[in-house]
């Protein structure tokens, strides 16, 4: 879920901590909203939590986008792994750093300045874009 929220462009910190007190404390200290399926945790955080109503990922993404507002989403602007904002880079700067086929067939590239991952708009990107579009149906996003 965290990875897909980052793909939507949301600033997401992931915590696998099972300790509700630790998650609550972290959320309050950082000013973040907790996205959870845990009713007790959502109740504890009151207005600082989104209680997910579905187990389906696309419905969960739609619920979060509707709650935070679609204008808060900027799809494909963050690293899906470490959450850092991506930076566009020139094609020439990625020569030898991405697969040769990718270099030949793609024109636009981004890099994560923190973890060094490269991103481009290949077929995997199109599949993710399709899934994001399905998830955002009904949110006012075109």
Count of the separate structural domains present in the chain: 1
Domain that holds residue 9: 2-136
| Angle, helix 123-136 to helix 57-68, in steps of 10 degrees | 70
Q: Is 76 inside a domain boundary? A: yes
For residue 141, tell me if it sits in a domain. Answer: no
Per-residue pLDDT tens digits of the chain, which is 142 residues long: 889 889 888 888 887 766 788 888 888 888 888 999 989 889 988 888 999 999 998 889 889 988 888 777 788 899 999 999 999 999 999 999 999 999 999 999 999 999 999 999 888 888 887 887 787 776 654 4
**Is 67 within the bounds of a domain?**
yes
Helix (H) or strand (E) holding 49: strand 49-51
- Residue 142, in any domain of the structure: no
What one-character-per-residue DSSP string does 90-140 give?
A: -SGGGTTTS-HHHHHH---EEE-TTT--EEE-SHHHHHHHHHHHHHHTTTT
């Amino acid at each position: 879920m965290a990875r897909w929220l980052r793909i939507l462009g949301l600033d997401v910190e992931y915590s696998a901590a099972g300790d509700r007190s630790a998650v609550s404390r972290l959320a309050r200290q950082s000013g973040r909203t907790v996205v959870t399926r845990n009713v007790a945790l959502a109740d504890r955080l009151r207005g600082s939590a989104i209680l997910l109503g579905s187990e389906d990922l696309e419905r969960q993404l739609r619920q979060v986008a509707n709650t935070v507002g679609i204008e808060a989403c900027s799809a494909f602007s963050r690293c899906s792994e470490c959450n850092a904002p991506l930076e566009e880079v020139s094609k020439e700067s990625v020569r030898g750093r991405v697969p040769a086929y990718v270099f030949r067939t793609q024109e636009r590239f981004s890099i994560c300045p923190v973890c060094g991952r490269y991103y481009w708009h290949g077929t995997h990107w199109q599949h993710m874009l399709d899934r994001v579009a399905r998830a955002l149906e009904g949110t006012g996003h075109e």
